[in-house]
Structure formats: structure tokens, C-alpha cells
């Protein structure tokens, strides 16, 4: 199967430049390209049209998770900017479970606190569909530390490529604030609702 890079309807953002988004989208396109490249090579090995050292094949299989998760998380990231910023709806299912866990006004502050952790990676909010709640986690690499089986509700990219056109590494906090200033919480609420519906089906 061939994957195609998605197109996103991203308006002008406050605190995140068009150039930054363009550079970041190009990097996302590289993940998609390498998902396809690895898939083609492994398919050719399986089909007998390409001979490859088993150690190289094993490394490609390990690398596939990095490329695939990198592509998928970037899709979740960019979708959150589509249609412009919108606040978390006070009466939404997501606001309720997040409020129960983090306090009425503590959800976004908690995500920002986790995002302030030293190091590169992602902050991901997952829907814990078995317990009807959310879990906020710091994930260092795309393929390492993902919480098994949990749908991604929010994805915040904290690799330097996400902000270094606009900000220095020491200014990461400004980028995090800009991310939330531009976030369309309607997209995130829908992901949570869809995850909970799927688990109940």
C-alpha cells in the first residue's frame, strides 16, 4: 500500500510563521516518503525480486515504526491547526473527563507542564477508552514509549524542527504557548468522542 502526504487547511497562525509551517510540512512529507520506500523494499524482499542481508531487512523493519509513527503523529499535529483556533468547549465530554482528572482549569496547564520537560519528543494526550479518561504522556521517539492501544487525542511536537525557524531552543515555552493559542479544540474533542464511541461499539 502506498501512502500519500495529506494536505492541511492551515490559516495564518499567531506566533508560528508560515515559513515554519512550510519547513515542518516538508519534514512530514519526508516521513511519508520513507514509509513508502521501506514498504517497497520489504515487499520486494518478500516477493523474491530483491535480495538483502537479513540484518538490513531487520533494521528496515525497526525503522518502519519510526517513519510511520512520525508521519501519523505529524498528521494529528497539523490537523489541530485547521479551520483556526477554537477553545475547549466547557460542556464537552473531553472537558468533563479532563476536569475530573486535572481540575476545572488544570488540563492545558498540565499539558504545558509536561511539555516543559527537558528533551525532545512529543507530548501526547491519549484517550484511555477502557477507563473513560485521558492520559498525558511525554514520548521521546516516535516509535518508543507510545501507550499501547490508546488513541491519540492531542499531539504536540517538541522536536526542534517544530519551532526553530521561529524560536531558539531556550524559547520553547513561547512556542508551546503559540501552539495552544492556535489550537482548534473542536478537532481534539472530536477525536476523543470518536475514540469513546468506537470503544463502546
Looking up residue 59, the CATH number of its domain turns out to be 1.10.287
Q: Give the tens place of pLDDT for each residue, 2-34.
A: 999 999 999 999 999 999 999 999 999 999 999
Residue 13 domain flag:
no
Residue 6 domain flag:
no
Residue 159 domain flag:
yes
In angstroms, the Cα distances linking 23 to 72, 170, 196 are 17, 20, 34
Whether 199 has a pLDDT exceeding 90, the answer reads no
Dist CA 60 CA 131 (whole Å): 36
- Quote the pLDDT of residue 201: 63
Do residues 166 and 113 share a domain? yes
Do residues 100 and 23 share a domain? no
Do residues 109 and 65 share a domain? no
Asked whether 6 and 75 are in contact (CB, 8 A), the reply is: yes
Do residues 57 and 123 share a domain? no
Q: Report which of 101, 27, 98, 103 is spatially closest to residue 67, judged by C-alpha positions.
A: 27
Rg (CA), the chain: 18
Do residues 62 and 147 share a domain? no
Q: What are phi and psi of 75, to 5 degrees?
A: -60, -45
Do residues 162 and 135 share a domain? yes
Residue 85 domain flag:
no
Grid coordinates representing 8 are 492541511
Do residues 180 and 124 share a domain? yes
Q: Give the tens place of pLDDT for each residue, 110-158.
A: 999 999 999 899 999 999 999 999 999 999 988 888 899 999 999 999 9
pTM of the model: 0.94
Quote the number of domains for the chain. Answer: 2
- Angle (CA) 132-69-127 rounded to 5° is 5
Rounded mean pLDDT, 31-56: 93
> 105: Cβ–Cβ under 8 A, 6 or more apart, which residues?
none
Beta-sheet strand order (sheet of 133-139): 133-139, 122-128, 152-157
Q: Report which of 25, 21, 34, 22 is spatially closest to residue 65, judged by C-alpha positions.
A: 34
Amino acid at each position: 500500500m502506498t501512502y500519500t502526504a495529506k494536505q492541511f487547511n492551515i490559516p495564518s497562525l499567531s506566533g508560528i510563521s508560515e515559513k515554519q509551517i512550510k519547513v515542518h510540512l516538508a519534514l512530514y512529507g519526508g516521513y511519508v516518503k520513507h514509509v513508502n520506500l521501506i514498504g517497497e523494499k520489504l515487499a520486494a524482499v518478500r516477493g523474491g525480486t530483491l535480495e538483502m542481508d537479513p540484518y538490513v531487512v531487520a533494521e528496515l523493519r525497526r525503522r518502519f515504526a519510526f517513519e510511520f509513527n512520525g508521519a501519523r503523529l505529524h498528521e494529528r499535529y497539523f490537523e489541530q491547526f485547521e479551520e483556526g483556533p477554537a477553545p475547549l468547549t466547557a460542556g464537552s465530554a473531553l472537558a468533563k473527563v479532563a476536569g475530573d482528572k486535572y481540575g476545572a482549569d488544570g488540563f492545558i496547564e498540565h499539558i504545558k507542564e509536561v511539555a516543559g520537560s527537558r528533551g525532545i519528543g512529543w507530548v501526547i494526550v491519549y484517550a484511555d477508552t477502557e477507563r473513560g479518561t485521558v492520559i498525558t504522556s511525554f514520548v521521546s521517539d516516535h516509535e518508543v514509549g507510545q501507550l499501547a492501544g490508546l488513541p491519540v487525542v492531542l499531539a504536540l511536537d517538541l522536536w526542534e524542527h517544530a519551532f526553530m525557524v521561529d524560536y531558539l531552543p531556550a524559547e520553547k515555552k513561547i512556542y508551546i504557548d503559540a501552539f495552544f493559542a492556535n489550537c482548534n479544540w473542536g478537532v481534539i474533542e472530536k477525536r476523543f468522542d470518536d475514540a469513546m464511541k468506537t470503544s463502546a461499539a
